[in-house]
Amino acid sequence: MDVNLLHHNQRPVVNTIMHDISGYDKHPAGQNIVVAIMSYKGYNMEDAIILNKGSIERGFGRSTYYRPSIAEELRYAGGLIDQVCIPDKDVKGYKTEKDYRFLEDDGIIYPEAKVREGDVVIGKTSPPRFLSSMEEYSLVSSTRRESSVNLKHGEEGIIDFVLITENEEGNKLIQVRIRDERVPEIGDKFTSRHGQKGIVGMIVPQADMPFSAAGIVPDLIFSPHGIPSRMTISHLIEMIAGKVGALAGRYINATTFDAEPEERLRKELLSLGFRESGVETLYNGQTGEQYEAKIFIGSMYYLKLKHMVANKIHSRARGPIQLLTRQPTEGRAKEGGLRLGEMEKDTFVAHGASLLLKERFDSDKTVVPVCESCGIIAIRDNYKNKSYCPVCGENVDINDIEISYAFKLMLDEFKSLGIYPKLQLESKY
Ligand SMILES: [Zn+2]
């Protein structure tokens, strides 16, 4: 299982009875930060948030991502067994010497090794899947196949911990834990405790952030458009309560139906020398000019969510394809393509980008011979260097046409259902 650990956890200033019941003070998962509700050059529109670079450098949202890699020496029928080792060069599927460079003599990586995608973490070989009757008696290493555990596409980190043990069946079991420090970056996800999640849209140097008359600079800027449609009034009240708690140096009870009344918090805020509404005059960090509008600013508890761009970033030019449809594989883990769906197609059509559209839909193009007489896909015999129709024989016109492989697959499926898919060929010009 993946684990994410925040580095500098804090007790929430504003909490509820559930925090006591669950012992939340013993395992807090967030940080108290100063939040301002305003827009910032459009970089926090549509749920995006702005982060203060200074806050990040002081440790806000810094976490470590841990991921385990596991390998087991499985036993197979006939006394065959997996072997954790540095694979021999004659093993089927041997990668390259470079991929195995971190492995020690026992075939396992050492702690604190800095690894990137493709690097082997646990070297392993397995017996061949199918044994022909001859090979059963002459087991040479060349029939073994490579089955090492390596870092997947786009992964990197430092080997944190290596464990060698046995499982319930007595098989040798190796666990390697990889660690990666994650400093907040554009695209990472944060949330308050009101379901107000947002993606970092820009990281602003502290000098360019807005500041109050007292010199307070927000750690995070939240878009005001996130409030009316979602009606998270609690989000606003927490900002006032957090502000009072931080200024007065006390924790604030926010339990539903049993919270400190808003009026009392506002009075206390007033007595602490601030406007009771929670707004303040802020100044533009870049020009020094005073903002015309008063800005709602306060302190609240923010959490870092586990969705980080570092785990999601992905691109592909050419790559693996599916065996059945010959179309690109799907998903980041399989180094897949990015689907150009129905709606994306419409935007291409709207722009008149027909050649680009054709290129996108060409990912599984094939050339097949088609019989002009019966309209069925013919057979190409490269050995005799001629094509013939399985129905009409050799003395018919057969033309090569370009179609997508998925379409050819569909025609085959029709045939298997007893449906005759007849192609009528016309000249292109
Ligand atoms: Zn035919």
**Tens digits of residue pLDDT in 407-417:** 999 999 999 99
Q: Kindly give the distance from the C-alpha atom of residue 371 to the centroid of ligand 1, in angstroms, as a whole number.
A: 5
* pLDDT value, residue 130: 63
Q: Kindly give the distance from the C-alpha atom of residue 322 to the centroid of ligand 1, in angstroms, as a whole number.
A: 30
Q: Kindly give the distance from the C-alpha atom of residue 379 to the centroid of ligand 1, in angstroms, as a whole number.
A: 10
Q: Kindly give the distance from the C-alpha atom of residue 383 to the centroid of ligand 1, in angstroms, as a whole number.
A: 20
155 pLDDT higher than 90 = no
386 pLDDT higher than 50 = yes
Q: Kindly give the distance from the C-alpha atom of residue 388 to the centroid of ligand 1, in angstroms, as a whole number.
A: 8
Contact predicate 50/43, CB 8 Å: yes
Q: Kindly give the distance from the C-alpha atom of residue 395 to the centroid of ligand 1, in angstroms, as a whole number.
A: 9
| Cα–Cα distance measured from residue 17 to residue 183, given in angstroms and rounded to the nearest whole number | 32
15 pLDDT higher than 60 = yes
Which among 202, 210, 227, 170 has a CA at the least distance from the CA of 291? 210
The neighbouring-strand residues paired with 4 are 65
Residues in CB range of 348: below 8 A, 6 or more apart: 340, 354, 356, 357, 360
419 pLDDT higher than 90 = yes
Q: Kindly give the distance from the C-alpha atom of residue 405 to the centroid of ligand 1, in angstroms, as a whole number.
A: 20
* pLDDT value, residue 316: 87
pLDDT tier at 141 (50, 70, 90 boundaries)?
A: very low
422 pLDDT higher than 80 = yes
Mean pLDDT of 104-123: 94
232 pLDDT higher than 70 = yes
CA torsion sign, 348 to 351 to 354 to 359? Answer: negative
153 pLDDT higher than 90 = no
Q: Encode pLDDT of 328-359 as tens digits.
A: 998 888 888 888 999 999 999 999 999 999 98
Sheet holding 83-84, edge to edge: 83-84, 124-126, 145-146
Other CB atoms within a 10 A radius of the CB of residue 150 amount to 18
192 pLDDT higher than 90 = yes
381 is catalytic: no
Mean pLDDT of 313-321: 88
**Around 365, how many Cα atoms within 13 Å sit in the side-chain half-sphere?**
10
Cβ burial, residue 183 (10 Å; 0-12/13-18/19+) = middle
138 pLDDT higher than 90 = no
| Cα–Cα distance measured from residue 215 to residue 66, given in angstroms and rounded to the nearest whole number | 38
DSSP secondary structure letters along 143-177:
G-EE--EEPPTT--EEEEEEEEEE-TTS-EEEEEE
Q: Kindly give the distance from the C-alpha atom of residue 362 to the centroid of ligand 1, in angstroms, as a whole number.
A: 27
Q: Which of 25, 47, 88, 188 is catalytic?
A: 47
**Around 262, how many Cα atoms within 13 Å sit in the side-chain half-sphere?**
12
Least confident of 114-118, 195-199, 279-283: 114-118
Least confident of 11-20, 139-148, 404-413: 139-148
Which domains are assigned to the chain?
Answer: 7-62+185-304 (2.40.270.10), 64-182 (2.40.50.150), 316-360 (3.90.1800.10), 365-416 (3.90.1800.10)
42 pLDDT higher than 80 = yes
* pLDDT value, residue 127: 87
pLDDT tier at 140 (50, 70, 90 boundaries)?
A: low
